[in-house]
Amino acid sequence: MTSPRHSLRVLFAASCFCCSVILMLFLRGRTTATPVFWIETFAAASAICGIVCWVAFRHGRMTVGDVPLSKLLAKLGLHLLGAYVACAALITAVGLAGLLTVTQSFTSSLALAALAGLWLSIWLAPGVAAISTSRALARP
């Protein structure tokens, strides 16, 4: 059984939309959560996601050719694990450096940075894995 042609695009778009929503919630700050707030947040996140996906999918990028589903899932699983570990480590390191400059308490900063790194990587890693998997499958 061959894999669906646009499976990596769907994975990337879902990851991109989740990251866009998180970005918009971060940028909007502490605002009262009214229906208008959520409509504006999702509209802005959809616009950001649409632009990023348009750039990422141009010229037929991130499509899966005639690849068996088992091969796609095996490669995607490996790339997803690597992307999650790399994203978690990078976000934790950046968060720790930023928090240490503000709080100067290593244990509290490390705990918060690790929590943020592990949580944000859940949403970011599938998009990174989709990109790296499509490139790995495109190689001869």
User: Is 100 a domain residue?
Assistant: yes
User: Is 52 a domain residue?
Assistant: yes
Give Rg (Cα) of the chain: 18
User: Is 2 a domain residue?
Assistant: no
Q: What is the pTM of this model?
A: 0.88
pLDDT of residue 105: 87
Average of per-residue pLDDT across 42-59 = 95
Q: Where are the alpha helices (DSSP H) in 2-138?
A: 7-28, 35-57, 69-103, 106-138
DSSP assigned state of 4:
P
Encode pLDDT of 1-36 as tens digits: 888 889 999 999 999 999 999 999 999 888 888 999
Measured distance CA(49)–CA(14) in Å, rounded: 9
Encode pLDDT of 78-126 as tens digits: 999 999 999 999 999 999 999 999 988 888 899 999 999 999 999 999 9
Q: Which residue range forms the structural domain that includes residue 80?
A: 7-138
Looking at this protein, which amino acid is placed at residue 138?
A
User: Is 1 a domain residue?
Assistant: no
User: Is 22 a domain residue?
Assistant: yes
Instruction: Please state the domain count of the chain.
Output: 1
Looking at this protein, which amino acid is placed at residue 125?
A
